[in-house]
Amino acid sequence: MEYVIEMLNIRKQFGDFVANDNITLQLAKGEIHALLGENGAGKSTLMNVLFGLYQPEAGTIKVRGEEVKISDPNKANDLGIGMVHQHFMLVENFTVTENIILGNEPTKLGTINIKEAAKKVQKLSEQYGLNVDAYAKIEDISVGMQQRVEILKTLYRGADILIFDEPTASLTPQEITELIQIMKRLISEGKSIILITHKLKEIMEVSDRVTIIRKGQGIGTVTTAETNPDQLAEMMVGRQVVFKTEKTAAHPKEAILEITGLNVKDNRGVDRVKDLSLTVRAGEIVGIAGIDGNGQSELIEAITGLRKVSSGKIILKGQELTGLKPRKITESGVGHIPQDRHKHGLVLDFPIGHNIALQTYYQAPISKGGIIDYKKIDKLAEKIIKEYDVRTPSAMTEARALSGGNQQKAIIGREIDRDPDLLIAALPTRGLDVGAIEFIHRRLIEQRDKGKAVLLISFELDEVMNVSDTIAVIHDGHIIDTVSPKSTTEQQLGLLMAGHEVKKTTIDKVGGE
Amino acid sequence: MKKRKIGLALTALLASGTLLAACGSNDSKEESKGGDNKDAFSVAMVTDTGGIDDRSFNQSTWEGIQAYGKEAGLKKGDGGYDYLQSASDSDFTTNINNLVRRNFDLVFAVGFKLEDSVKEVAAQQKDAKIAIIDSVVPDLDNVASIMFKANEASYLAGVAAALESKTGKIGFLGGMESNIIGGFEAGFVAGAKAADPKVKVDVQYAGSFGDAAKGQTIAKRMYDSGADIVFHAAGGTGQGLFTEAIAQKKSGNDVWAIGVDRDQYDEGKVDDKTNIVMTSVLKRVDVAAQDMIKRSAAGDFPGGETVTYGLKDDGVGLADSHGAISEKTQKEIDKAQKDIVDGKIEVPEQPKK
Amino acid sequence: MSQRMVNILVPVVSVVLGLIVGAIVMLVSGFSPVAGYSALWNGIFGDSYNIGETIRTITPYVFSGLAVAFAFRTGMFNIGVEGQLMMGWLAAAYVGQAFEMPTGLHAVVAILAAAVAGGLWAFIPGLLKAKLQVHEVIVTIMMNYIALHTANAAISAISDGGEKTEKIHESASLASEWLASMTQFSRLHWGFVVAILAVIIMWILLEKTTLGYELKSVGFNKNASEYAGMNVSRNIILAMVISGMFAGVGGAMEALGTFGNMMKMTASTGIGFDGIAVALLGANQPFGVLLGAILFGSLKNGGLNMPNEAGIPTEIVSIVIALIIFFVASGYLIRLGLERMSKKNKDTQKIKEGK
């Protein structure tokens, strides 16, 4: 096989910690090579070594058969290596062309020749079927289109080896399909691609071979056609992974949360939740399925007291919550895993331990007479870090430095530890890898089995189908139907989410069970 | 307070004095060795926050001290003459203390803002001799206070304005109301009324020493209402008066302005031939400083006293009118000046309430 | 090189660099750096008088630095320390001269009045920020002008049209004959003890109290704090008010210590603005602010002696002092950068290790 890139026995060490240990990755010409690993397994480190951001302690890098030393990103560029970053590095109010030539402007007598550059951009765009308007402003184009600008940027600079870092993280399903087509087109035009991801589905669909790393160790390279998702997951996590979370049948008891005739407006005064009624009982998980923007956020904010209710009633264990302050609601037995953990769930600049105390810092035993006992916070933090398997160097590590999965585990630990009667989990597994997703699903089911009520909000059909005991489909601010996951197909659910009433005969109503 | 400006002409005058001193530099070089003379009377000053080159009180005092230093053949530095600048109000005490501790025979504190610091240091350093300008510190034997009878010179300006006015109406533009500016107002009004009892004096205060725009608005109102000569005692606010007077002159109105503190002739230039500054009321801080040094050197330090410099001592006066004041009026001014010096006229110190 | 070595070396090197560049400036302008720096040294430590004056100069900087730092730590930019300090100065001067109280108690009451005045002055931008999302930077800057002219008008009113308020009664004064006699009549006053107390108070407030936890949390992330049930508006206002109170007490130091009264001013004191630099030098940590204020105050006071002893003009002195502070600040930045880098690496490594 002809290799364009060979990273042989790479070792990268930070202090006494080994981030990459003896990892070998060989990229053949014209292939899509997936680099698979959990969050924090060392994928980024390896790619940063390739891109010249880190220097390896041991091992060799060969580009097109020649041994090279990549001292900085410019060197990588010269070697034809281009990186499509997960977080786009684009100037919002610049045009596509301006962004592409940024830092590499073709100048003539000190003036930039934009027109010529735009022509070149347009030509590249057509050649690879990217369909990008060279004169569009970044702020006016979709996320998927912005990603194509990033791809164009590398092509413009003459890259024929492209590294895609978690490219599908922020894309819609439609955009993902398009991206996969683009990647295949790139290959047909003679490029080679390294795809960094932890999504097994994509790997199976697009890649030729997969290199798996775990905890900084190279586990091996397999040909995609000869493997399956289960095997890949096992290699990645190091044990068998259960995709479909096992659970026993639910035994719903008394109603914990009762919402009747709820109306909520958004910040601009538009009705977002319209005459919504919903019941969540003890010992069941109610999943709210729906497309983003159908009133889910407003519904949660109304329950937790963060948003004013225009009309309707929210009752928890027979006690009315409507109009109470968030803290009162929390104290009366509601736990909340917010949908945006960075914005709403954590104070990223606080140590993770302080974040774990974010709901209880003011109560005894942590706080007495206005004085905080940080030792008690540490104790609580250590307990939750242990119980919920939060992987962090210490309780004093800034929350920012933790991986998404560990941040989420800390939040879940914080909320569940208060033993709430109702646990609201909004998109609890967004952006997490399979290991973390499995862990979180098990925790939600555990709560249910303890006789608590769980309200799950998710945009992922898999998740709703897997975890919920009852699915309430939300569309345009009200519950369009309530169905049982056992007797409903994804297609039927999809139709409901899109607002199509489905004939009752096709779906067994929960009530009829 | 920017109420203490000295004239450019004054600077020129002093410069010529310096030149004169320099002319005799043949022997002054030899004399400069006398600067090391331990018996020489050494002098230093502390500025207020305006700085040493403020074209006002600080600069004027320093010029007076320099003139003395040259004359006595002293050098800048210990045992000769020196100054320290104050960047903030909290520096006053430290600076005065530093100079006293360097054994200067006389230390000037320039401006009323230094009053508290002077009291403080004087109480602690009994051997120090401190002279404060524009403020009265009584009851301390080692502090002399220097005040100016600005009302006397203002009286002369009032005489000039009343006699030169063609409309029978003149104006007074004050900065902020205070005792010091009150002296200017009182003198000006008294002089005008004495020269022409029928003259109308429009008195207005701007409420600021730094608001040239407001000064111009008030000046415009005065000129438009028929006043043709306006005297300002308003620091930077007075710049607006000059701006307006120049504009009026250009549009054909025959108006005049009277400057303050220093000769403001240069500010009133319309073109090569025309100027709207009739004269300026001068405060000769340099003269006062030199006088104070000489008295003190001669062993006559007026500790505990307030020394007031007026027309008699050349401490205040009117600047050259460059022909703007007629000979006839000038005679009246000279007569009034003589009468004041002789004590025949007593100029009020504060306006009647 | 070990971390400890770096920690010691960086500030030393940056001070030395600052001194060298300052020396070049003096040489170029025709003055002797040796004479200049020995004058600077003497101006700070020369004798007991200078030491006393140095400590006195440092005192208000501690407060303005704490005020800025406290706001920074709680997510606010308080550029209005200048105005809050002036209102505190005014309040302390007024209480000190207008009332009769037993010695000691009088000073305490005057200091409290200053804290209240500074706090109230900061309450306005806090309220506007919390309720109407008006950015506090613009409001606090404008409040500085309002404070300057309000104070001047108030001084006129209190003193019947005078230029300054009456001297405060002995009972309210922080000045001490004992301190003065120890330091050859310097204006050293008990304010430095109050300043050290303030440093400790800020530390306790931020690091030990429930309120401090809340204020920091809201400062870092309003949304998460709101989700956790904190009253965000209340905390924003409180953060500004407490910051303003530190500034106000700084003003009391001038009223009850250095000057014993308040005089009309044509421009800001500059102490509040320098407080921003002091806070940044001190990394917004209470004890760091103390160190920053010591550096600032020492150079300010020592600098006064450079024209006095070495004949170097004030302008050159200002440049030299600014250069030293500049290099200390950039040295700190370098170290901060180094620490951030190594800390981030360590964190990420350990997480990776954990996985």
pLDDT of the residue at A364: 82
Whether C278 is in a domain gets the answer yes
Mean pLDDT of B164-175: 94
Measure CB to CB from residue C213 to each of A216, A348, A361 and give the nearest one. A361
Q: Say whether B98 and C308 touch across the interface (CB within 8 A).
A: yes
Measure CB to CB from residue B112 to each of C163, C187, C261 and give the nearest one. C163
Whether C299 is in a domain gets the answer yes
Question: For the segment A288-332, what is each residue's pLDDT rounded down to a tens digit?
Answer: 988 877 888 899 999 999 999 999 999 999 898 888 899 999 999
Q: Say whether C210 and A371 touch across the interface (CB within 8 A).
A: yes
Q: What pLDDT band is residue A485 in, cutting at 50, 70 and 90?
A: confident
Superfamily of domain A255-512: P-loop containing nucleotide triphosphate hydrolases (3.40.50.300)
B256: β partners: B229
Chosen for mutation from B58, B88, B101, B237 (greatest number of chain C CBs closer than 10 Å) is B88
pTM of this structure: 0.76
Chosen for mutation from C314, C315, C317, C319 (greatest number of chain B CBs closer than 10 Å) is C314
Report the distance separating Cα A204 and Cα A34, nearest Å: 9
Looking at the fold, whether B224 and B246 belong to one and the same domain comes out as yes
Q: Check pLDDT > 60 for residue C234.
A: yes
B49 interaction partners in chain C (CB closer than 8 Å): 266
**Subunit partners of chain C (3 or more CB pairs within 8 A):** A, B
Cβ atoms of residues A439 and A447 within 8 Å: no
Measure CB to CB from residue C355 to each of A40, A306, A362 and give the nearest one. A40
B101 interaction partners in chain C (CB closer than 8 Å): 49
pLDDT of the residue at B1: 40
Question: For the segment A174-202, what is each residue's pLDDT rounded down to a tens digit?
Answer: 778 889 999 999 999 899 999 998 778 88
Measure CB to CB from residue B178 to each of C161, C265, C307 and give the nearest one. C161
Q: Check pLDDT > 50 for residue A168.
A: yes
Report the distance separating Cα A491 and Cα C241, nearest Å: 58
B89 contacts chain C (CB < 8 A): yes
Q: What is the chain C residue with the closest CA to A236?
A: C355
Mean pLDDT of C135-147: 93
Report the distance separating Cα A471 and Cα C330, nearest Å: 59
Whether B318 is in a domain gets the answer no
DSSP, collapsed to helix, strand or coil, labels residue A485 as helix
Q: Say whether C57 and B90 touch across the interface (CB within 8 A).
A: yes
pLDDT of the residue at A363: 86
Q: What is the chain C residue with the closest CA to A360?
A: C228
pLDDT of the residue at B141: 92
Other CB atoms within a 10 A radius of the CB of residue A310 amount to 15
Measure CB to CB from residue C352 to each of A19, A306, A350 and give the nearest one. A19
A354 interaction partners in chain C (CB closer than 8 Å): 213, 217
Q: Check pLDDT > 80 for residue A81.
A: yes
User: Among residues B283, B300, B320, which one ends one of the domains?
Assistant: B283
Range of the domain at B12: 8-148+285-309
pLDDT of the residue at A399: 87
Q: Check pLDDT > 50 for residue B24.
A: no
pLDDT of the residue at C184: 84
Q: Check pLDDT > 60 for residue A111.
A: yes
Measure CB to CB from residue C355 to each of A41, A327, A338 and give the nearest one. A41
Whether C355 is in a domain gets the answer no
Amino acid, single-letter form, for residue B299: G
Contacts within 8 Å (CB) and 24+ apart, C44-50: C44/C298, C44/C299, C44/C301, C44/C302, C46/C305, C47/C184, C48/C182, C48/C183, C48/C184, C48/C186, C49/B97, C49/B101, C49/C183, C49/C184, C49/C185, C49/C186, C50/C186, C50/C301, C50/C302, C50/C305
Q: Say whether C314 and B99 touch across the interface (CB within 8 A).
A: no
pLDDT of the residue at A235: 87
Report the distance separating Cα A361 and Cα C214, nearest Å: 9
- Domain total for chain C? 1
C217 interaction partners in chain A (CB closer than 8 Å): 347, 350, 354, 358
Domain A3-237 belongs in CATH node 3.30.565.10: no
Mean pLDDT of B331-336: 94
Range of the domain at C274: 32-311
Q: What pLDDT band is residue C264 in, cutting at 50, 70 and 90?
A: confident
Between chain A and chain C, are at least 3 CB pairs below 8 A? Answer: yes
pLDDT of the residue at C342: 59
pLDDT of the residue at B54: 75
Q: What is the chain C residue with the closest CA to A300?
A: C227
Average pLDDT, chain C: 88
How many angstroms away from the CA of C107 is the closest CA of chain A?
28
Among the listed residues C111, C305, C87, C164, the one whose alpha carbon sits nearest the alpha carbon of residue B89: C164
Instruction: Work out whether the CA dihedral B253, B258, B259, B265 comes out positive or negative.
Output: positive
Among the listed residues B120, B46, B109, the one whose alpha carbon sits nearest the alpha carbon of residue C260: B120
Whether C144 is in a domain gets the answer yes
Other CB atoms within a 10 A radius of the CB of residue A58 amount to 13
Looking at the fold, whether B168 and B75 belong to one and the same domain comes out as no
Percent of chain A with pLDDT over 90: 32
Mean pLDDT of B313-342: 92
Q: What pLDDT band is residue B34 in, cutting at 50, 70 and 90?
A: very low
Q: Say whether C167 and B84 touch across the interface (CB within 8 A).
A: no
Question: For the segment A259-280, what is each residue's pLDDT rounded down to a tens digit?
Answer: 999 999 988 888 899 999 999 9
Looking at the fold, whether B222 and B139 belong to one and the same domain comes out as no
Question: For the segment B109-122, what is each residue's pLDDT rounded down to a tens digit?
Answer: 998 889 989 998 99
B76 interaction partners in chain C (CB closer than 8 Å): 311
Chosen for mutation from B45, B84, B98 (greatest number of chain C CBs closer than 10 Å) is B98
How many angstroms away from the CA of B150 is the closest CA of chain C?
19
pLDDT of the residue at C250: 95
How many angstroms away from the CA of C342 is the closest CA of chain A?
9
Looking at the fold, whether B113 and B167 belong to one and the same domain comes out as no
CA atoms within 13 A on the CB side of C303: 26
Q: What pLDDT band is residue A434 in, cutting at 50, 70 and 90?
A: confident
pLDDT of the residue at C241: 96
How many angstroms away from the CA of C9 is the closest CA of chain B?
34
Looking at the fold, whether B114 and B186 belong to one and the same domain comes out as no
Amino acid, single-letter form, for residue B239: Q
CATH code at position C275:
1.10.3470
Q: Say whether C226 and A350 touch across the interface (CB within 8 A).
A: no
Report the distance separating Cα A468 and Cα A454, nearest Å: 9
C214 interaction partners in chain A (CB closer than 8 Å): 361-362
Q: What is the DSSP string of C83-119?
A: HHHHHHHHHHHHHHHH----TTHHHHHHHHHHHHHHH
Q: Say whether B94 and C261 touch across the interface (CB within 8 A).
A: no
Q: What pLDDT band is residue B16 in, cutting at 50, 70 and 90?
A: very low
CATH code at position B108:
3.40.50.2300
Sheet holding B229-233, edge to edge: B200-205, B169-174, B229-233, B256-261, B277-283, B316-318
Question: For the segment C248-263, what is each residue's pLDDT rounded down to a tens digit?
Answer: 999 999 999 999 899 8
Q: Check pLDDT > 70 for residue B327.
A: yes
Q: What is the chain B residue with the closest CA to C305?
A: B98
Question: For the segment B238-257, what is each residue's pLDDT rounded down to a tens digit?
Answer: 889 999 999 999 999 999 99
Ranges A166-175, A352-361, C63-72, C220-229, most confident: C63-72
How many angstroms away from the CA of C274 is the closest CA of chain B?
13
Average pLDDT, chain B: 85
Whether C255 is in a domain gets the answer yes
pLDDT of the residue at B292: 93
ipTM (interface predicted TM): 0.79
pLDDT of the residue at B353: 64
- Domain total for chain B? 2
Q: Say whether C220 and A401 touch across the interface (CB within 8 A).
A: no
Q: Say whether A347 and C221 touch across the interface (CB within 8 A).
A: yes
Q: Say whether B89 and C269 touch across the interface (CB within 8 A).
A: yes
Helix, strand and coil in chain B, % to nearest 5: 45, 20, 35
Residues of chain A with CATH 3.40.50.300: 3-237, 255-512
pLDDT of the residue at A459: 82
Measure CB to CB from residue B116 to each of C259, C270, C318 and give the nearest one. C259
B116 contacts chain C (CB < 8 A): yes
Q: What is the chain C residue with the closest CA to A435?
A: C355
Average pLDDT, chain A: 86
pLDDT of the residue at A513: 37
Question: For the segment C273-324, what is each residue's pLDDT rounded down to a tens digit?
Answer: 999 989 988 888 999 899 989 988 999 999 999 988 888 888 888 898 888 8
B91 interaction partners in chain C (CB closer than 8 Å): 304
Measure CB to CB from residue C305 to each of B82, B98, B178 and give the nearest one. B98
Among the listed residues B82, B87, B132, B73, the one whose alpha carbon sits nearest the alpha carbon of residue B103: B82
pLDDT of the residue at B7: 41
**Subunit partners of chain B (3 or more CB pairs within 8 A):** C
Q: Say whether C269 and B97 touch across the interface (CB within 8 A).
A: no
pLDDT of the residue at C7: 65
Q: Chain C interface residues facing chain B, Cβ-Cβ under 8 Å?
A: 49, 53, 57, 161, 163-164, 167, 180, 185, 187, 254, 258-261, 263, 265-266, 269-270, 301, 304-305, 307-308, 311, 314, 318
Q: Check pLDDT > 80 for residue B157.
A: yes
Mean pLDDT of B37-47: 83
How many angstroms away from the CA of B275 is the closest CA of chain C?
32
